[in-house]
Amino acid sequence: MTAPDKTRIYLVALLAWQALWLPVSPAAPPGGAAVDEEVSKQEAIYQSRGEDVPAGYVIDRSLLSYASFLPSGFDRSLANLGPTDRWLDIGAGQGLAILDYYTSRYDSMHPEGRARRGSKARAVAISIEDRRTPRWRETAARLEADQIRYLSGRRLREYSLEELGRFQLVTDFTGGFSYTRRLSLFMEKVLGLLEVNGSFYTLLLDVRPEAGTTQPIDPESLFLTEIENDDGSDVGVCSWLKSISCVKVACKPDTKSSRPIELYRIQKVCNDVAVPSLVTLHYRAGTPPQRRFSTKTPPPESR
Ligand SMILES: C[S@@+](CC[C@H](N)C(=O)[O-])C[C@H]1O[C@@H](n2cnc3c(N)ncnc32)[C@H](O)[C@@H]1O
């Protein structure tokens, strides 16, 4: 591929990325009925089709977009997977990133490791709603049985380890990590599905980065994901992730955007994972939703 080609593809990816940015409006008050209303608005976003899909709900990012925006190790981690390895993409939308991986173009762009990759890793896409396209069905029919699987109709937390098995690589590009109301349960699930030494690559939009005092673009708005201590002070998503046992966490601000975005690589280093519980204080539907969590110990029934 020529340098102008690469620049053009990068710019297209950047534009798709910028399309994410819809202003976040001020917080809705917490409470039972208000939460139910936000949950059903969010469900309507998931189930939206055609022209009703909100502009900020991007469901067709390419693998190149994933590689451009996820932490830098992702591209190499994927290219190094062998035919007995497995990749899980949580919140896959149309599953384009997975489809791109099985093209000959992918191999020509990643000549190193080609022999080791062989027929490539198996991949599983998870999405709440079924957004499979004819291209997905054609690719699945051309590949070996079960080389790619698309699971829908449930959230990540509703799958068991027995159903999904373990993975060497997990990605989440504005999927469940950005949308879930149960962040600690979500992380427990992801880490339970990862093999030791496997990595989870993800990011959050509009979040207070570990090292910095960046403000959201709209001064009236809140950050999209916040975690507070018992005393109401900000914990920061990165610090909370680092409080999980048996993981090595790298957090990096995204320097390509003027909005506060943080990129995360979470590597599982041993099996005794313990994720500190979070209580959900606030949830407002959106693309992604606005969420506030607390590290207060939750009552057993809400965990
Ligand atoms: C904005 S789309 C992103 C799609 C894709 N990653 C992309 O970048 O094109 C959000 C995706 O996350 C999925 N999602 C949200 N919460 C989820 C959860 N808790 N478990 C599994 N999937 C979830 C949605 O169903 C949808 O497929």
Token reading at 109: 């762009």
Cα of 51 vs its chain's centroid, Å: 24
* Residue having the nearest C-alpha atom to atom 2 of ligand 1: 59
Testing ligand 1's pocket by substitution, the residue of 90, 164, 171, 225 carrying the most ligand atoms inside 8 A of its CB is 90
Would you state the pLDDT for residue 1? 44
Give the CA radius of gyration of the chain: 19
- How many whole angstroms from 173 Cα to the centroid of ligand 1? 8
Q: Calculate how far, in angstroms, residue 217's C-alpha sits from the geometric centre of ligand 1.
A: 24
The pLDDT value recorded for residue 103 is 97
- Ligand 1 atom having least distance to the Cα of 60: 9
Tell me, using a 6 A CB cutoff, whether residue 174 lines ligand 1. yes
What was the pLDDT predicted at 299? 62
Cβ(130) to ligand 1 under 6 A? no
Atom number, ligand 1, closest to the C-alpha of residue 129: 25
User: Which residues, other chains included, contact 59 with Cβ-Cβ below 8 Å and sequence gap of 6+?
Assistant: 53, 93, 94, 131
Is 127 a pocket residue for ligand 1 (Cβ < 6 Å)? yes
CB-ligand 1 contact for 289 (6 Å cutoff) = no
CA–CA distance, 27 with 29 (Å, rounded to integer): 6
Give 122's strand partners: 86
Residue 3's pLDDT is what?
46
pLDDT of residue 194: 98
DSSP conformation letters of 116-135? HHTT--EEEEEESS----HH
Q: Which candidate, 211, 212, 159, 156, places its Cα nearest to that of 184? A: 156
Atom of ligand 1 nearest to the CA of 288: 1
The ranges of the chain with pLDDT < 50 are: 1-29
Q: Is the CB of 42 under 6 A from ligand 1?
A: no
- pLDDT of 7 reads 43
Q: Nearest-CA neighbor of 65 among 131, 107, 133, 18? A: 18
Among 171, 179, 185, 283, the mutation site with the greatest number of ligand 1 atoms within 8 A of its Cβ is 179
